[in-house]
């Protein structure tokens, strides 16, 4: 070891012993038990998250029963997510959500929860196993055709796996005999798995047969109040997509077999999108092409503009239902004159797994995933130098850095990983980091060993590389928003 390196190493080790990252050694070389109480001790010595230990299997051999090879995968998000060990196909339209995906989903769910609570939503959880009786009452048992996954229990009773829950939630609310107008607007929502036997499951999580949806159902005293609720949910959706950094357009939509009077879709513009949208270049008019009867491209709203066609991925759908379900299931309440009224309803879907994949679809490069920063599985990846290289002493600095981040930036706890695969060059590991899309990659190499240490920081969202002092780095990472 060169004398100067030796000096750096001594200095770093000294600092680490002082901050207790490394256990003190006694004369026989064994680690001494620190005197701190057990709880403090375990917090302080919590080992960093190691990339070598994360279950993120890339390039799994079996690519599903459809026998597709990696090169044949149907869209960018599916290919990148499979290659990065985020999802693994099990059977058509069904996937294993691997740990990094689950982390990202949990974050997305937290953001959705915040926005839904912000407008007075209350979360519940309804059974996925739905009795056919309810669906027969609404006549959707027949209307849904092959899309419904149907099954029988041991007594021969019919069930379906819930593709949506208008029937279930309306019956629930109808069961409360004492429902009062004072409880309105009542906004109930859940985030659960939905089941639809899609004719063409494809594009990875974009169109699955089993997927997560947030579905909210609103109950109001009057049509007017229901429209207000409708508007507040649309605004919450707009806020959600802004927070995720996604450009989303709200278009007029068809009401389909959910039924009702007014409907909008929230669409992310993307070439692989399966919806065709028409947007006026002159005014705010935008609609799904399904809603327009003529082939003309004159704007029906401002009359002067021309409608321009583009493609979109539907990530959300809102419906004003009126009394369609509340009438059938007798969801009534007592109004301010103590007279019974039939609730005015709305329903509001968000494709949770679809949003995740769609975000990856529209944000990523061909080589690497780019996440909406807020929901990236991990925020920071620290890369120590290759083992045996001349910057080897940086390895200790990298650990020290992670320790400091944990101590000074509580928001980043659990968000920083150490790429400890130091048998690999920095270049190879950088390539992986690019593929997985950590918003920030910090390289601890030559610059970090200088008298005034400099860290190389790659901000993957912008592609920018910066050289920062430790304070500069803490400043930068201190601004990272987490959820
Ligand atoms: P699509 O037209 O894409 O089939 P839909 O109109 O049938 O969707 P909705 O009933 O409006 O879907 O469901 C609400 C939301 O659930 C959709 O906006 C979408 O984001 C999501 N979603 C619907 N079907 C799927 C699916 N097969 N896989 C993943 N997400 C889905
Ligand atoms: Mg829809």
- Inter-residue contact 238 to 249 (CB < 8 Å): no
Atom number in ligand 1 closest to CA 274: 3
Q: Which long-range contacts (CB under 8 A, 24 or more apart) does 334-337 make?
A: 334/178, 334/179, 334/180, 334/181, 335/181, 335/221, 336/181
| Mutational pocket test of ligand 1: of 144, 259, 314, 358, the residue with most ligand atoms within 8 Å of the beta carbon | 314
Helix axes 470-478, 394-408, angle to 10 degrees: 40
Which secondary structure element, helix H or strand E, spans residue 158, and what is its range? strand 158-161
DSSP bridge pairs for 212: 193
As to burial, measured by CB atoms within 10 angstroms (0-12 exposed, 13-18 middle, 19+ buried), residue 245 is: middle
290 in ligand 1 pocket by Cβ < 6 Å? no
Atom number in ligand 1 closest to CA 201: 27
Kindly state the tokens that stand for 309.
Answer: 């066609």
Rounded CA separation 151/148 (Å):
10
pTM > 0.75: yes or no:
yes
Mean pLDDT of the chain: 89
Question: Nearest C-alpha to atom 1 of ligand 1 is from which residue?
Answer: 314
Among 432, 430, 480, smallest CA distance to 458 is for 430
Rounded CA separation 404/21 (Å):
10
Mean pLDDT of 136-151: 97
Kindly state the tokens that stand for 101.
Answer: 């995906």
pLDDT tens, residue by residue, 318-346: 999 999 999 999 999 999 999 999 999 99
Predicted pLDDT of residue 27:
45
Half-sphere exposure of 370 (CA within 13 A, CB side): 15
211 in ligand 1 pocket by Cβ < 6 Å? yes
Neighbours of 366 (CB within 10 A): 7
pLDDT of 95 strictly over 60: yes
* Distance of CA 371 from the midpoint of ligand 2 (Å): 24
Predicted pLDDT of residue 28:
43
Which secondary structure element, helix H or strand E, spans residue 317, and what is its range? strand 307-322
* Distance of CA 350 from the midpoint of ligand 1 (Å): 8
Predicted pLDDT of residue 377:
98
pLDDT tens, residue by residue, 264-302: 999 999 999 999 999 999 999 999 999 988 888 999 999
CA distances to 63, 234, 314, 346 from 227, in Å: 46, 11, 22, 9
pLDDT of 256 strictly over 80: no
Kindly state the tokens that stand for 407.
Answer: 């101590």
As to burial, measured by CB atoms within 10 angstroms (0-12 exposed, 13-18 middle, 19+ buried), residue 443 is: buried
pLDDT tens, residue by residue, 438-469: 999 999 988 888 988 899 999 999 999 999 99
pLDDT tens, residue by residue, 296-306: 899 999 999 99
Kindly state the tokens that stand for 196.
Answer: 């639809």
Predicted pLDDT of residue 294:
84
- For residue 74, the Cα-to-chain-centroid distance in whole angstroms is 21
* Distance of CA 230 from the midpoint of ligand 1 (Å): 19
Q: Which ligand is nearest to the CA of 207?
A: 1
| Mutational pocket test of ligand 1: of 354, 356, 357, 360, the residue with most ligand atoms within 8 Å of the beta carbon | 354
pLDDT of 174 strictly over 90: yes
Question: Nearest C-alpha to atom 2 of ligand 1 is from which residue?
Answer: 314
Rounded CA separation 345/255 (Å):
14
**What are the structural domains, with CATH classification, of the chain?**
76-363 (3.30.930.10), 378-477 (3.40.50.800)
Rounded CA separation 350/239 (Å):
13
Highest mean pLDDT among 57-66, 254-263, 289-298: 289-298
pLDDT of 307 strictly over 50: yes
């Amino acid at each position: 070891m060169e004398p100067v390196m030796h000096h750096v190493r001594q200095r770093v080790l000294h600092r680490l012993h002082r901050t207790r990252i490394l256990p003190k050694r006694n004369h026989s070389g064994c680690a001494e038990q620190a005197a701190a109480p057990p709880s403090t001790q375990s917090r302080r010595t919590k080992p960093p998250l190691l990339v070598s230990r994360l279950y993120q299997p890339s390039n799994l051999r079996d690519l599903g029963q459809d026998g597709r090879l990696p090169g044949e995968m149907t869209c960018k998000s599916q290919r990148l997510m499979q290659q990065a060990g985020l999802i693994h196909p099990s059977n058509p339209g069904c996937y294993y959500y691997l740990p990094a995906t689950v982390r990202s989903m949990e974050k997305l769910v937290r953001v959705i929860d915040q926005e839904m609570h912000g407008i007075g939503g209350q979360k519940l959880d309804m059974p996925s196993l739905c009795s056919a009786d309810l669906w027969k009452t609404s006549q959707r048992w027949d209307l849904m055709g092959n899309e419904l996954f149907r099954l029988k229990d041991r007594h021969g009773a019919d069930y379906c796996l819930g593709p949506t829950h208008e029937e279930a939630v309306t019956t629930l609310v109808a069961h409360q005999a004492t429902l009062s107008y004072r409880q309105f607007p009542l906004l109930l929502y859940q985030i659960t798995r939905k089941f639809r036997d899609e004719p063409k499951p494809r594009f990875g999580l974009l169109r699955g047969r089993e997927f997560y949806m947030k579905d909210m159902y609103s109950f109001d005293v009057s049509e007017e109040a229901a429209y207000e609720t409708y508007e507040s949910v649309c605004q919450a959706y707009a806020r959600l997509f802004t927070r995720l950094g996604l450009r989303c357009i709200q278009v007029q939509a068809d009401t389909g077999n959910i039924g009702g009077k007014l409907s909008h879709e929230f669409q992310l513009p993307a070439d692989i999108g399966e919806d065709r949208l028409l947007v006026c270049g002159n005014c705010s008019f935008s609609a799904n092409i399904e809603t327009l009867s003529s082939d003309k491209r004159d704007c029906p709203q401002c009359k002067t503009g021309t409608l321009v066609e583009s493609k979109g991925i539907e990530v959300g759908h809102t419906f004003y239902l009126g009394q369609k379900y509340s009438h059938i299931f007798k969801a009534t309440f007592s109004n301010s004159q103590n007279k019974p009224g039939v609730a005015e309803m709305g329903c509001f879907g968000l494709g949770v797994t679809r949003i995740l994949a769609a975000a990856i679809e529209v944000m990523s490069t061909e080589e690497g995933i780019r996440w909406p920063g807020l929901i990236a599985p991990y925020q920071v990846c620290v890369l120590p130098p290759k083992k045996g290289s001349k910057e080897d002493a940086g390895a200790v600095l990298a650990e020290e850095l992670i320790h400091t981040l944990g101590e000074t930036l509580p928001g980043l706890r659990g968000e920083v990983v150490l790429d400890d695969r130091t048998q690999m060059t920095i270049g190879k590991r950088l390539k992986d980091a690019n593929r997985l899309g950590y918003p920030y990659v910090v390289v601890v190499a030559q610059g970090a060993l200088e008298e005034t240490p400099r860290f190389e920081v790659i901000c993957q969202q912008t592609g920018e590389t910066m050289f920062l002092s430790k304070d500069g780095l803490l400043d930068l990472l201190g601004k990272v928003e987490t959820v």
